[in-house]
Amino acid sequence: EDKVVQSPLSLVVHEGDTVTLNCSYEVTNFRSLLWYKQEKKAPTFLFMLTSSGIEKKSGRLSSILDKKELFSILNITATQTGDSAVYLCAVGAPYSGGGADGLTFGKGTHLIIQP
């Protein structure tokens, strides 16, 4: 069975801190790893990673994938209260029973940024 494990499950930091969120996976037929941000309602897509070692960046957020060690990290620098959310990691693997995208989601990391 495909598995995606995120750590930590929750994290409280102060504004301005840098945080690193972890996602490890065990899937067959790996195709991609995705990060989403879920505030109070719908998840929104952040990044998709398919190749090891290539960093994806969007403003203060960045992510990198290690396909040899089967993990990814999501970094957020100079955190702001608006970064408070649940961050979901998902792995796409075709024909894993997850539908057209074959996505398996982790439980998420609940990040709280205190002023």
Residues listed for the chain = 115
Check binding of 99 to another protein (CB under 8 A): yes
Check binding of 63 to another protein (CB under 8 A): no
Q: Beta partners for 12? A: 112
On whether the CB atoms of residues 4 and 34 are closer than 8 A, the answer is: no
Among residues 19, 21, 23, 34, the one that binds another protein under rule CB under 8 A? 34
Structure token pair of residue 92: 């796409």
Closer Cβ to another protein, 17 or 105, answer by number: 105
Q: What phi, psi does 8 have (nearest 5°)?
A: -70, 170
Pair type for strands 19-26 and 3-7: antiparallel
Q: What is the dihedral of CA 38, 39, 41, 47, to 10 degrees?
A: -30
Contact letters for another protein, residues 2-31 (x by CB under 8 A): --x----x---------------------x
Among residues 72, 92, 109, 111, the one that binds another protein under rule CB under 8 A? 92
Q: Which stretch binds another protein (CB under 8 A): 22-30, 54-62, 67-75, 88-96?
A: 88-96
Check binding of 109 to another protein (CB under 8 A): no
DSSP H helices, 1-115, are none
On whether the CB atoms of residues 36 and 46 are closer than 8 A, the answer is: yes
Closer Cβ to another protein, 73 or 103, answer by number: 103
The residues of the shown chain that bind another protein, judged by CB under 8 A, are 4, 9, 31-32, 34, 41-45, 48, 88, 90, 92, 97-108
